[in-house]
Amino acid sequence: MIRSDLIRGHLDSIILRLIFEQDRYGYEISKEISSRTDNRFQIKEATLYAVFQRLEKKELIESYTGSVSQGGKRKYYRITTLGKAYLKEMVEEWKETKEVIDLFMEGLK
């Protein structure tokens, strides 16, 4: 398991990236995170919805109700133009951060 505090600061970016790829609903995002990390990182539902609220408040994503499936209507999230610009900035910031940390962490055995 990955320490969640190391990832917590990047949850907005991770979730934005998944929504950038395609409109998604909460459970789908949760499963996608588990799947892509081979279950090394799992997001709690409460955390996920707190991120949705924060991203919506900042107008980086917007929600809409999808068509009825399995007896209920799902709430989907799509990225906004502002969200795309923010994600691009976060990717650049991550690249720089990774380079700096790699300077100190790589090469040890």
**pTM higher than 0.75:** yes
If you average pLDDT over residues 38-43, what whole number do you get?
A: 91
Domains and CATH numbers, the chain: 4-105 (1.10.10.10)
The full 3-state SS of 45-107, as one line of letters, equals HHHHHHHHHHHHHCCCEEEEEEEEECCEEEEEEEECHHHHHHHHHHHHHHHHHHHHHHHHHCC
Question: pLDDT digits over 2-34, tens only?
Answer: 667 778 888 999 999 999 999 999 999 999 999
Mean pLDDT of the region 71-93: 94
